[in-house]
């Protein structure tokens, strides 16, 4: 499991970097999907198979499909690739990188100084369901209301 | 080496059988279509034309494997293996018989759904990277169709999951030992069948590759073994959906004796594969907007209603 | 609601059942190279040139077939023998262009050109699809066994003077006053 975790983590890192530096939008999306799938594998390795599958179904399976769907409609060609290449200058990404580096320093600090228990705990489907429909029932119902409202609104807009 | 879930022998046998069956379906489909259209079908190569598959395979392997210069090479080559890999991975959670299977997973149903949703990328990337208007139209249609029908597919399954009380396909089969789920879940079965056809984009829902409208849809530019992978992937999808139907609604390997369990499973699956081919022979293709309207305005409310009624039934059974 | 279910599921199921029942019907396929198909007598296949009952060529080289041909696949040249009969010096049909429409047969005034039920005329070399008169001419009368153009027409040939044709009156003597 620990081997699986590290492999998936390295794949996720490489894929995410590839998302940022690749100029072709479709390639970037493919790398993003790989990154999401490796995150799903990490969830699995940490003992949360349900979350892993939801990551694969919802993020990699549904949301990314919609991203790709929009990409198809946009008709992106060589000009966009050239534009992307132009935006890859150091003075543009130096700001975000500093901010992210700050966050990284913070996190390593927390992980090193405080004693956090990182051993995997098996969380099955049943445990999650009991939690969701027990103490968190109100939140689930509110979220479902919101989604239903979104669905009805989308239907209304599409009907126009 | 023993024959049990997850042993190398079991995995090898399943992989080999599934791929051979998918390839043989090329011949089976053509013969059955011939039978139902009062023709003969391929009967020249070998006994009953059985070696037609070999001839087709030789042809497809020796064809020029051409990548169009205007295509996006990275995604163009990436697309066909995705569908093969994704569907073969889905077979890993299918319980063929007691002791025959690849993994005994607690999230089997979810795994199949995840793999089905990843299968959409094969079609979309294939169409998008071809840089061809027909391919693009085909993959647009495929994306909308597959994303929509995944929803109903998932919801129609939940009735079965609720009745069995598990996402584990092996436990779902065992839960059917005193009655197949086709009886309490008939509506779920019909919705799953329709969504399954749409997911594997078989006729009558082959809108992404409708020959009469958009040449060959998303695989217009593909040739050689890359096309072959899409082709075999489609048949693998048929086998997968048939075996899922058997596992979820028709009691998997359970049967009234006579035969060993694996034979029951194979017989039931063969019945559904034949049904898929009969659907292709009989039913015309709906229009694209008809398909989407039918899905969102009829199947979605119906599957939700089915889920709610199933939940109410379970609560009533438990006496709350 | 019931109506909707009947229209969608019901009619589809009926369709499925009817198509399924075709499994028990006899197949229409004729396994051609093993079994020769029964062709209709008036099937429009390979073109032949027939002879009249006396064994002479029927074709009088009138060129009507060549004119009628929509794809211009017929070529011929008129010649005349010492008896006064017209005949084609050459008669050439390019079967790689022929569309087997049968217009030539309809246009022919002497029933010379006829279409037969034979369809096995594939070749590897395109030039072999051009058939000359020797290839086209058969030793028979084709579909019309009694018809003989020169025995009906008034044209004078050797062995048949004017007025000797079937159903033909003797020529009027212009120099006589008698009726």
User: What confidence tens digit (pLDDT) does each residue in B281-299 have?
Assistant: 888 888 888 888 888 888 8
Please tell me the least confidently modeled range out of A59-68, B2-11, B67-76, B287-296. B2-11
Asked if residue C21 belongs to a domain, the reply is no
Q: In what order do the strands lie in the sheet with C86-94?
A: C74-80, C86-94, C130-131
Contact between residue B86 and residue B115 where contact means Cβ atoms under 8 Å apart: yes
Parent domain of B30: 8-317
Distances (CA, A) of B216 to B33, B219, C163: 20, 6, 72
- Closest CA of chain B from C119, distance in Å: 22
- Closest CA of chain A from B128, distance in Å: 7
Among B36, B40, B298, select the one facing C20 at the smallest CB separation: B36
Residues 54-73 of A with CB under 8 A from B: 54, 56-57, 60-62, 64-66, 68-69, 71-73
Would you put residue B202 in left (φ > 0), alpha (ψ -120 to 50) or beta?
Answer: beta
Q: Which of B30, B31, B34, B35 to probe by mutation at the C interface, max C CB count within 10 Å? A: B35
> Is the model more confident about B264 or about B203?
B264
Q: Which residues of B touch C22 (CB under 8 A)?
A: 35-38
Query: Would the CB atoms of A56 and B129 count as touching at under 8 Å?
Result: no
- pLDDT value at position B1? 45
Q: Which residues of B touch A59 (CB under 8 A)?
A: none
pLDDT above 60: residue B2: no
| Chains touching C (3+ CB pairs < 8 Å) | B
**Closest-CA residue to C30 (of C18, C38, C20, C21):** C38
> Is the model more confident about A120 or about C21?
C21
ipTM over 0.85: no
Contacts of residue C39, defined as CB under 8 A and 6 or more positions apart, other chains included, come to C45, C117, C119
- Closest CA of chain C from B126, distance in Å: 33
Parent domain of C71: 47-152
- pLDDT value at position B6? 67
Average per-residue pLDDT in chain B? 85
pLDDT tens-digit series, residues B137-170: 888 888 888 888 888 888 888 888 888 888 888 8
**Closest-CA residue to A14 (of A39, A40, A49, A43):** A39
Please tell me the least confidently modeled range out of A108-117, B9-18, C11-20, C95-104. A108-117
> From CA B103, how far away is CA B92, in angstroms rounded?
6
- pLDDT value at position A101? 92
> From CA B165, how far away is CA B314, in angstroms rounded?
10
Q: Which residues of C touch B38 (CB under 8 A)?
A: 22, 25-29
- pLDDT value at position A116? 67
For the segment B91-100, the average pLDDT, to the nearest whole number, is 83
The pTM assigned to this predicted structure is 0.80
Contact between residue A32 and residue A71 where contact means Cβ atoms under 8 Å apart: no
Domain CATH for C130: 3.30.70.3270
Reduced 3-state DSSP string for chain A: CHHHHHHHHHHHHHHHHHHHHCCCHHHHHHHHHHHHHHHHHHHHHCCCHHHHHHHHHHHHHHHHHHHHHHHHHHCCCHHHHHHHHHCCCHHHHHHHHHHHHHHHHHHHHHHHHCCCCCCCCCCCHHHHHHHHCCCCHHHHHHHHHHHHHHHHHHHHHHHC
Q: Which residues of A touch B171 (CB under 8 A)?
A: none
Q: Within a 13 Å sphere around the CA of B208, how many CA atoms are in the beta-carbon half?
A: 27
- Closest CA of chain A from B20, distance in Å: 28
Asked if residue B174 belongs to a domain, the reply is yes
- pLDDT value at position A14? 92
Pick the CATH number of A2-121 from 1.10.443.10, 1.20.120.1200, 3.40.710.10, 2.40.50.420: 1.20.120.1200
For the segment B17-45, the average pLDDT, to the nearest whole number, is 86
Q: Which residues of A touch B74 (CB under 8 A)?
A: 24, 27, 30
Q: Let me know the angle formed at the C-alpha of B42 by B38 and B47, rounded to the nearest 5 degrees.
A: 115
For the segment B196-209, the average pLDDT, to the nearest whole number, is 84
**H or E element that contains C143:** none
Query: Would the CB atoms of A50 and B78 count as touching at under 8 Å?
Result: no
For the segment B41-66, the average pLDDT, to the nearest whole number, is 84
> From CA A34, how far away is CA A8, in angstroms rounded?
10
Asked if residue C34 belongs to a domain, the reply is no
Search chain B and give the residue with CA nearest A37: B118
Query: Would the CB atoms of B72 and A24 count as touching at under 8 Å?
Result: yes
Number of domains in chain B: 1
Number of domains in chain C: 1
Which residue in this structure is represented by tokens 């990277």? B129
Query: Would the CB atoms of B107 and A50 count as touching at under 8 Å?
Result: yes
Distances (CA, A) of B77 to B67, B122, B219, B229, B260: 8, 10, 12, 11, 42
Query: Would the CB atoms of A62 and B114 count as touching at under 8 Å?
Result: no
Query: Would the CB atoms of B36 and C12 count as touching at under 8 Å?
Result: no
Q: Omega before B204 cis (within 30°)?
A: yes
pLDDT above 60: residue C159: yes
- pLDDT value at position B136? 85
For the segment C146-175, the average pLDDT, to the nearest whole number, is 82
- pLDDT value at position C38? 87
Helix (H, G, I), strand (E, B) or coil at C47: strand
- pLDDT value at position C124? 92
Distances (CA, A) of B2 to A18, B34, B108: 44, 42, 23
- pLDDT value at position B280? 87
Query: Would the CB atoms of A68 and B146 count as touching at under 8 Å?
Result: no
- pLDDT value at position B3? 60
Which pLDDT band holds residue C104 (cuts at 50, 70, 90)?
Answer: very high
Asked if residue B18 belongs to a domain, the reply is yes
Dihedral sign of CA atoms C27, C28, C29, C35 in order? positive
Buried b (16+ CB within 10 A) or exposed e, B106-141: bbbbbbbbbbbbbbbbbbbbbbbbbbbebbbbbbbb
Which residue in this structure is represented by tokens 């065992």? B174
Asked if residue C134 belongs to a domain, the reply is yes
Query: Count of CB atoms within 10 A of residue B95's CB?
Result: 27
Strands (E) in C107-152, as ranges, are 113-115, 130-131
Contact between residue B218 and residue B135 where contact means Cβ atoms under 8 Å apart: yes
**Weakly modelled stretches of chain A, pLDDT under 70:** 116-118, 120
Among B121, B140, B167, select the one facing A72 at the smallest CB separation: B140
Asked if residue C99 belongs to a domain, the reply is yes
Among B110, B114, B121, select the one facing A33 at the smallest CB separation: B121
Beta bridge partners of C90: C77
pLDDT tens-digit series, residues A76-95: 777 777 777 777 777 777 88
Contact between residue B242 and residue B276 where contact means Cβ atoms under 8 Å apart: yes
Query: Would the CB atoms of A65 and B143 count as touching at under 8 Å?
Result: yes
> From CA B123, how far away is CA B138, in angstroms rounded?
8
For the segment C49-70, the average pLDDT, to the nearest whole number, is 89
| Chains touching A (3+ CB pairs < 8 Å) | B
**H or E element that contains C148:** none
Search chain B and give the residue with CA nearest A63: B147
> From CA B85, how far away is CA B238, in angstroms rounded?
15
Which pLDDT band holds residue C131 (cuts at 50, 70, 90)?
Answer: very high
- Closest CA of chain B from C8, distance in Å: 10
- Closest CA of chain B from C41, distance in Å: 25
Give the pair of three-digit tokens for residue A152: 């009805």
Beta bridge partners of C48: C114
Q: Which of B75, B104, B107, B144 to probe by mutation at the A interface, max A CB count within 10 Å? A: B107
């Amino acid at each position: 499991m620990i081997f699986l975790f590290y492999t998936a983590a390295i794949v996720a890192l490489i894929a995410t970097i590839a998302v940022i530096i690749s100029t072709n939008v479709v390639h970037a999306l493919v790398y993003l999907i790989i990154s999401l799938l490796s995150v799903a594998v990490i969830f699995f390795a940490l003992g949360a198979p349900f979350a892993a599958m939801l990551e694969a179904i919802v993020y990699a399976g549904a949301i990314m499909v919609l991203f790709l769907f929009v990409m198809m409609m946009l008709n992106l060609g060589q000009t966009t690739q050239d534009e992307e290449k132009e935006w890859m200058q150091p003075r543009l990404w130096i700001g975000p990188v500093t901010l992210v580096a700050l966050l990284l320093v913070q996190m390593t600090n927390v992980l090193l100084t405080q004693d956090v228990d990182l051993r995997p705990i098996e969380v099955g489907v049943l445990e999650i369901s009991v939690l969701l429909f027990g103490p968190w029932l109100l939140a689930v119902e509110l979220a479902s209301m919101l989604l239903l409202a979104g669905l009805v609104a989308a239907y209304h807009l599409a009907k126009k | 080496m023993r024959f049990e879930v997850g042993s190398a022998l079991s995995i090898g046998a399943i992989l080999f059988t599934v791929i051979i069956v998918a390839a043989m379906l090329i011949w089976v489909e053509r013969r059955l279509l011939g039978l139902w259209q009062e023709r003969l079908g391929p009967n020249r190569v070998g006994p009953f034309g059985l070696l037609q598959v070999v001839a087709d395979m030789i042809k497809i392997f020796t064809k020029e494997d051409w990548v169009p210069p205007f295509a996006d090479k990275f995604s163009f080559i990436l697309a066909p293996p995705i569908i093969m890999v994704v569907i073969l991975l889905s077979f890993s959670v299918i319980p063929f018989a007691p002791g025959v299977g690849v993994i005994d997973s607690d999230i089997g149903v979810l795994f199949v759904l995840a793999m089905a949703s990843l299968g959409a990328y094969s079609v979309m990337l294939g169409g998008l990277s071809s840089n061809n208007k027909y391919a693009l139209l085909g993959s647009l249609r495929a994306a909308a169709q597959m994303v929509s029908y995944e929803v109903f597919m998932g919801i129609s399954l939940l009735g079965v999951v609720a009745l069995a009380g598990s996402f584990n396909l092996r436990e779902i089969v065992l839960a059917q030992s005193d009655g197949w789920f086709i009886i309490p879940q008939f509506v779920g079965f019909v919705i799953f069948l329709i969504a399954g056809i749409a997911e594997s984009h078989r006729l009558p829902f082959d809108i992404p590759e409708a020959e009469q409208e958009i040449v060959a849809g998303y695989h217009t530019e593909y040739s050689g073994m890359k096309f072959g992978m899409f082709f075999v992937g489609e048949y693998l999808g048929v086998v997968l959906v048939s075996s899922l139907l058997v596992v979820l609604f028709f009691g998997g390997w359970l049967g009234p004796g006579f035969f060993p369990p694996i034979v029951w499973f194979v017989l039931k699956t063969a019945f559904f594969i034949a049904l898929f081919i009969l659907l292709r022979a009989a039913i015309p293709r709906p229009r694209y907007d008809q398909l989407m309207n039918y899905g969102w305005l009829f199947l979605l409310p119906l599957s939700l209603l089915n889920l709610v009624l199933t939940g109410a039934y379970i609560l009533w059974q438990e006496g709350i | 609601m019931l109506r909707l279910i009947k229209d969608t599921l019901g009619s589809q199921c009926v369709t499925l059942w009817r198509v399924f029942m075709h499994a028990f019907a006899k197949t229409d396929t004729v396994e051609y190279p093993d079994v020769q198909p029964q062709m209709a007598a008036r099937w429009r296949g390979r073109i032949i040139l027939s002879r009249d009952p006396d064994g002479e060529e029927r074709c009088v080289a009138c060129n009507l077939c060549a004119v009628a041909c929509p794809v211009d696949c017929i070529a011929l040249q008129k010649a005349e023998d010492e008896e006064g009969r017209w005949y084609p010096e050459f008669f050439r049909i390019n079967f790689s262009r022929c569309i087997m429409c049968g217009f030539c047969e309809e246009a022919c005034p002497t029933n010379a050109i006829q279409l037969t039920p034979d369809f096995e005329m594939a070749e590897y070399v395109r030039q072999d699809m051009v058939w000359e008169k020797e290839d086209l001419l058969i030793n028979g009368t084709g579909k019309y066994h009694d018809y003989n153009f020169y025995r009906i027409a008034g044209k004078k040939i050797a062995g048949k003077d004017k007025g000797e044709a079937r159903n033909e009156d003797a020529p009027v003597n212009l120099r006589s006053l008698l009726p």
